Amino acid sequence: MMKISPQPRAKLSKLRDIGWELWDPIGLLEPGFYPGKWDEEANRPFADEYDSYLLDAAGQLRRGVPRVQVVDYLVRIETQHMGLQEGPTTRDRAEAVVAAILADDGIWTWPDEQGRFP
């Protein structure tokens, strides 16, 4: 019987650091709303706001989806799913997120020999 090697998982805290610092399309952490970092007590109720999009983008990149398609995905999420206007920084922010995910070797974690994730 062939053993299937386990798939890695993305470290959500690293994705959140990237997403909140470089993307934040709604602008929740802008001065005047909820300034600070996503993991501060006051911001925890909405810390997961972008998780599904960031996990999807990271997964696409891991599977080898071309970078430009993942950028387009994030732009589409912002402009179509969230209903926001495409602004002068929309594509730049999406490109920054994709670049940061690709550059971070520590974003993925693999299970140990028993299949448990750290």
Please write the tens of the pLDDT for every residue from 54-86: 999 999 999 999 999 999 999 999 999 999 999
Nearest CA to 23 out of 87, 84, 74, 76 is that of 74
Rounded CA gap, 85 and 79, in Å? Answer: 6
Rounded CA gap, 32 and 76, in Å? Answer: 26
Rounded CA gap, 96 and 117, in Å? Answer: 28
The domain spans of the chain are: 9-109
Rounded CA gap, 5 and 30, in Å? Answer: 42
Rounded CA gap, 84 and 36, in Å? Answer: 23
**For range 19-48, the mean pLDDT:** 89
How big is the chain by its Cα radius of gyration, in Å? 16
Rounded CA gap, 17 and 100, in Å? Answer: 10
Per-residue pLDDT of 104-118, as tens digits, reads 988 998 777 777 767
Q: What is the pLDDT of residue 2?
A: 57
Residue carrying structure tokens 């670049």: 99
Q: Indicate yes or no: pTM above 0.85.
A: yes
